[in-house]
Each structure stands twice: as C-alpha cells, then as structure tokens.
A = this chain, B = another copy of it.
C-alpha cells in the first residue's frame, strides 16, 4: 500500500558523496565514541568543571591573529550579508572570548565539540574532528592549575586504556631564555621555535639547515641551540642539572622564572604520583602563538603522533576584553584515541552492540496485526523497557532479527497464544521458552532484565 502511494516521479541523480576530509559515524563506531566521551566527561566533572557550549562559528575577527602560521587553515563562511564569520579552529579561543565577554575572573570548563581546519585531508588528517578540552582560567595557587591540568591529562589517558604514553613538557619562557642565550634576535623567536618543533619528525641536521638557510641564523648559533634541545629526561633530574651553579639559564630573567615555575610544578606532580609519566624535553616548542608558560604534549609510545597537548596562555583572554585573566588548558585529540580504541577492540575480538534493545516483540501474523503489536509493544515502552517489534507470518524473520541485533529476549505472540490469553517469553541464549499470562508479561520480563 505504501509503495502504491509513492509518487511515480523519482529523480535519479548521480551517486552522491560527502565532502572529503569529513566522516560519518554510526553503529559500532558510535558506540566506541559514546564510551570514550562518557569516560572523558567523568574525568572532567571529577575536577569541578562545568560544560560550556559555544557556537561552531565565531566572528572572523575573533579568530584572527591567534594561530600564527596555521591561520591559513581557518574556514570562512561565505559573505551572504551581515558580519563575517569563520568556523572555530580550536576550543581555546572561543573559551577565551566567552570568559572576556562575560567579565569572568575565574572559570573552569570542559567542552567536547568539533573543530574545523582546511588542512590537506590526504595526510590522514580530517577537516572536521572532535576535541575534548579542559581549561582553568583565573588566579589560583601558583602553578596549581598547571599541576591539575597535567594530572587530568594522565587520568584521561590512563582511564581510556589506550596503551603506554609519555607527556613531554617544556616552558615557553625557558625556550625564550635559551634562544636569547644562544644569541637569536627576539623577532626570530617564534619562527625559530616552529623549526625546533619539527625535531620530533626531523633530524637536527635537517632542522639546522632550515634555521640557517631559510631563517638566517648563523651556524654557531644553530649549533648552540642544538646542544640545548637534545636535553630530555626525568623532570626533577634534568631540572637540577639545568639549575647547577654556573648554568647560563640562571643569569637569564626569562629562563630563571621558568625554572622556578617548574620546580613548584614537579614537586606537585611527584606528590600526585604522576611524575613518572612526564618527560622534561627542551626540544618541545608547540606552534600556537598564544602560549606563555608551561607547554606539553602527550604521545603514545607505541603509536606515532600527538594524542593531547596544551599549556599556559596568560594573555589570550585579555585580548578580548580589558581584564587580564591567566589560564591554562589541555586539549585531547580524540580522533587518535578512537582509532586506538577501535584497534584494541579488534585485537581483543570484542564488538560493541550497536543498539541496546532488550526485547523483540514477535507478532506471528499478517500486517493486520499492527494494532496488536502497537498495544503490546507500547506496554513495554511505557514500562521503560527497550523494545522493537516485528509483524510477520514467517518465524525465521523474527529469529533472524533477534540474532542479528543480539537482542536477548523475545516475546512470541501468535493466534494460539492470544486465544489462551498468554504470550511466550524466549531467552535467545538459552533458547528456553516460557508461557506467561498476557496480563503479566511486562512484569515478568522486567524481573528477568533487572533481577
């Protein structure tokens, strides 16, 4: 009947695709995502955060000048009249804009949302992807929020159970001090930092070439940088080496300030029993322009690439208002986490159920039995049970449906059952069938489902 009613006019167009660099998620994949989001939300709430939801696009001027070289990856909305907007590039700038706009002096929030980058999708990068951010803005105990953010990062990665990882950590002011000591002119600090940031993928020789040939450093300065950036190790050990008498860091205002910060931070991390996940690494530079203090990046030790990153940005909120509010945050690149979780699930031979349906109501009869199905399945739904129904004369259709969706219970109703005033309850796993009174079947099922 439905088919007979369909208008005969059908437009046949070429097979549609979606925009490259974006993805759809459904079924088993969504189940993994929901599990990850629930773990992450639980960790964030454990640290007193409230959720914040900001628009997917911001005024274009809000995003301008915050991302250094990466600004070219910002997606603009077409000018269709009205103000010019762009899709958010991260969740940090919208958070800073929100804090400033509302005149807040302290705020700790989490946000799980998509961000947009007009990157080359061929590299296995996506143009739309989720980030999970936690940020603390406000005046707190010195290095207190920095400590808590790193603690949160270790809790996230431990509880997501995605294998070994390390948190590489450095300080922007230590980098600045280092560059000053090496004789780099201040106007080249950011540009040289972005070269240093490539050391996780390139050899020092390659990076040196870039610094000398493209960025105009002399060779001795580059080598001096090279001798510093190879330093990495357990935080307290490396810190005490850098603070040894005669260290050039102690004579430099910027790096001295950074070392004092790090001393407090490492003490707190040690007492929090997560310092063993942290590696103090002088080659970590991080690209974004807005960082001002501690910076860090978590990498999987088995898998290549960054899983999470963050740092302190004390000047960003002030750019949007009149009040300067210091802040520190972490951003989890959840896409890599999903990939690792999916791989682990495959390795362990587990599969997630795509639905949570508990009961399949099987009406053995023809389509005129819809009204009977409606009556019985509504009783299940009204009792808050998760239920689907099928009306069909073919029993195989019913049992296939239950097995495919791994629905644990069936309620079988045919003419015979109706006459006798009963229904049959079938446990799919044990294949045991029981007859129960029609009036009692919801209660009987409820007891079996919530014993």
Contacts and interface: CB of A to CB of B under 8 A. Distances in A.
A151 interface: yes
Given A1-B260, A26-B53, A58 B151 contact: no
Nearest to A326: B2
Interface in A25-70: 25-27, 30-31, 33-34, 45-59, 61-62
A12 B324 CA distance: 10
Interface stretch (A242-250, A313-321, A341-349): A313-321
A356 B5 contact: no
Nearest to A264: B370
B98 A373 contact: no
Given A6-B315, A141-B370, A367-B141, A53 B76 contact: no
Nearest to A273: B378
Contact of A26 (B62, B75, B109, B261): B109
Contacts of A55: 18-19, 22-24, 128
Contacts of A227: none
Interface stretch (A142-150, A197-205, A280-288, A442-450): A142-150
A30 B1 contact: no
A436 interface: no
Interface stretch (A208-216, A217-225, A300-308, A382-390): A382-390
A102 B143 CA distance: 51
Interface string A313-335: 01100111110101000000000
Interface string A55-96: 111110110000000000001111110110101000000000
A271 B309 CA distance: 56
A292 B9 CA distance: 12
A260 to B, nearest CB: 7
Nearest to A318: B10
A16 B49 contact: no
A354 interface: yes
Given A292-B7, A370-B264, A375-B272, A15 B321 contact: yes
Interface in A95-109: 97-98, 100-102, 109
B375 A271 contact: yes
A395 interface: no
A87 B34 CA distance: 24
A299 interface: no
A339 interface: no
Nearest to A270: B371
A16 B320 contact: yes
A126 to B, nearest CB: 9
A128 B46 CA distance: 30
Given A57-B19, A57-B22, A367 B318 contact: no
Given A15-B322, A53-B25, A77-B77, A269 B374 contact: yes
Contacts of A109: 26
A427 interface: no
A78 B57 CA distance: 13
B85 A19 contact: yes
A257 B19 CA distance: 39
Contact of A374 (B20, B34, B118, B271): B271
B25 A101 contact: no
Contacts of A326: 2-3, 6
Nearest to A11: B319
B11 A318 contact: yes
Nearest to A356: B45
A306 B31 CA distance: 32
Contacts of A30: 50-53
A48 B141 CA distance: 49
Given A6-B314, A144-B373, 15 more contacts: A2-B326, A5-B258, A16-B62, A16-B321, A18-B101, A19-B83, A24-B54, A46-B384, A48-B388, A56-B56, A75-B77, A75-B80, A77-B87, A142-B367, A268-B371
28 contacts: A2-B139, A2-B143, A2-B293, A5-B292, A7-B314, A10-B324, A11-B318, A16-B59, A16-B61, A16-B320, A19-B59, A26-B50, A30-B50, A30-B51, A31-B50, A45-B356, A46-B384, A55-B128, A56-B56, A75-B80, A78-B78, A82-B118, A141-B391, A267-B374, A271-B371, A271-B372, A271-B374, A273-B378
